[in-house]
């Protein structure tokens, strides 16, 4: 799901709802149901992410048929509401950050010292039962609900670590397009469904 979040096909809230399902088949079904409901094409990105996640599934994916139509390329015309560029920069790099952050404990300590996170957040993010990727997802999820100051502080932590300096530059240089905001707002179910534009997905 990390790749679908980075492409703005799924939201953090979608992921939380999907993961709340007790069994994997139910989670898979919910992902597919969400993507089917999107008013733009999702097939190619979905199948690519499946293969990236598990190369052994490539034979199954190759048997799927893409029923894309011309209408799938159009995005609804919506009025963008309260979608900050810093939030989208984090979301578009969600998969990259989940895969590459390695010392989340020290990052959390610094963010606590700056009053961005709290001890309760630390207990959740750094819990012993969490894998590295799970801890990274929890940290990013909390940061995406914070303001621009929290985002700037997080980037400064990355910039001070030589291992993450290029990653910080990549995040800062990530372009946020109008189409990204439309897709995220569609995912939040805050758009008029009968109004369409010529913006291509």
Q: How far is CA 80 from the centre of its chain?
A: 18
pLDDT tens-digit readout, 19-41: 999 999 999 899 888 888 887 77
d(CA 79, CA 194): 13
d(CA 180, CA 83): 10
For 117, the token pair is: 């996170």
Segments of the chain scoring below 70 in pLDDT: 53-55, 61, 63, 65-82, 189-201
The Cα–Cα gap between 135 and 101 comes to: 9
Q: Are 180 and 8 in contact (CB under 8 A)?
A: yes
In 3-state terms, what secondary structure has residue 75? Answer: strand
d(CA 150, CA 18): 27
> Which pLDDT belongs to residue 41?
77
pTM for this entry: 0.79
- pLDDT computed for residue 186 by the predictor: 78
The pair of three-digit structure tokens given for residue 149, joined into one six-digit string: 């100051």
Kindly tell me the burial class for residue 30, based on how many C-beta atoms sit within 10 Å of its own C-beta (0-12, 13-18, 19 or more). middle
d(CA 102, CA 169): 17
Residue whose tokens read 């397009």: 177
Quick one: pLDDT at residue 40? 75
Domains and CATH numbers, the chain: 2-81+176-200 (no CATH), 94-172 (1.10.533)
């Amino acid at each position: 799901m990390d790749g679908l979040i980075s492409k703005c096909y799924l939201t953090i809230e979608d992921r939380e709802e999907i993961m709340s399902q007790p069994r994997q088949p139910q989670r898979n079904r919910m992902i597919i149901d969400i993507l089917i409901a999107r008013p733009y094409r999702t097939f190619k990105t979905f199948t690519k992410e499946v293969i990236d996640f598990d190369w052994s599934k490539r034979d199954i994916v190759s048997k799927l048929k893409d029923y894309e139509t011309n209408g799938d390329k159009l995005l609804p015309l919506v009025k963008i509401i309260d979608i900050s560029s810093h939030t989208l920069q984090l979301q578009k790099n969600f998969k990259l950050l989940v895969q590459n952050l390695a010392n989340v404990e020290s990052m959390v300590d610094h963010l606590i010292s700056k009053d961005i996170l709290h001890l309760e957040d630390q207990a959740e993010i750094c819990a012993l039962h969490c894998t590295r990727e799970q801890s990274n997802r929890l940290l990013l999820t909390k940061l995406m609900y914070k303001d621009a100051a929290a985002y700037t502080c997080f980037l400064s932590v990355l910039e001070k670590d030589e291992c993450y300096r290029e990653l910080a530059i990549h995040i800062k240089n990530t372009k946020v397009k109008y189409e990204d905001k439309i897709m995220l707002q569609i995912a939040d179910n805050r758009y008029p469904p009968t109004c369409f534009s010529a913006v291509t997905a």
